[in-house]
Structure 1
Amino acid sequence: MEYIQYVLFGLVAFFLLRRLLPTSGVRNMTTTQLKNELGDKNKQYIDVRTPGEFKGRNIRGFKNIPLQQLPNRVNELSKEKEVVVICQSGMRSNAASRQLVKHGFKNVTNVKGGMNAWR
């Protein structure tokens, strides 16, 4: 019985760490770096927060595609351009980045700290 508890604990720890660690093949940038790269026509910017969060505060040039809608809306994005993803804290954008990589996007960037870090 004790062995099963260790296995379960290990599995839970693995899945938690996997969610927190950066996704392989995804670049991370700070909001300072984002400010220097905003407006680049070779990039597409998406905000994966809810429409209410986006309406309350957003960065000009970002398109709102909520995380829950992303799998059905990836066709709105070009695989030929870099995708820069932001959310409120960086957690949902990390999940979105993982989804984009699974859908065949090769150039994905997650904004660390999200809107919480945007000044």
Structure 2
Amino acid sequence: MAGILTGYSQNSVEDLLKKYNSGVVRYISVEQLRMRQLDKEVVIIDSREKEEFQVSHIENAILVGYNHFEVSKVNDIAKDSPIVVYCSLGIRSENIGRKLKKAGYKNVQNLYGGIFEWKNKGFPVVNPEGDETNKVHAFSKTWAKWLKNAEKEY
């Protein structure tokens, strides 16, 4: 992951995702996820770390983490359930999505632009108490430039 944290010169989220992701886990837009979330038709998995999740997360998301992720954390989810995995921008979530697919989960998608894009488009995030908040963990000062519509925490 060290390579992910170092400098880069991408001009857009699309450039960034093309650089780091293989596309093996297909994307879903934040707008598509919001519609599915409101219809309660999807399992949402947060692949960020606990300290990021505790600042805010997408409502009803299940925290699985990244650094110590184990497939056993999602054993109670049916293999054919529609699953959307997200992180800050969509890079760590592709890695977790790939692991889920390898474990036999058939309908896994990666949230394009992650929670940053979700918040940038004005969709709500909640704190651990379930209250809506404007705060989002920005991951690092380097990555914070992609988060434009939230109060940044580190």
Establish whether TM, by shorter chain, passes 0.5.
yes
TM-score normalised per structure 1: 0.75
In structure 2, C-alpha distance between the alignment counterparts of 1:41 and 1:115, rounded to whole Å: 18
- Size of the aligned set, in residue pairs, is 101
Give ranges in structure 1 of 5+ residues lacking alignment: 1-16
CA spacing shift, 1:78–1:50, aligned 2, 3 Å: same
**TM-score of the superposition, structure 2-length normalised?**
0.59
Contact 1:19 1:95 in 2 (8 A): no
CA RMSD of aligned residues (A): 1.9
> 1 CA distance for matches of 2:88 and 2:19?
19
Greater Rg, structure 1 or structure 2?
A: 1
Following superposition, the deviation at residue 41 of structure 1 comes to: 3.6
Give the % identical residues: 32
- CA distance in 2: counterparts of 1:30 and 1:41, whole angstroms: 16
| Residues 39, 61 of structure 1: 8 Å contact kept | no
**Residue 19 of structure 1: how far off its partner (Å):** 5.0
For structure 2, the 5+ residue unaligned runs are: 1-17, 120-154
Aligned to 1:110: 110
- Which structure carries more helix by proportion? 1
- Bigger RCO (CA 8 Å, 6+ sep): 1
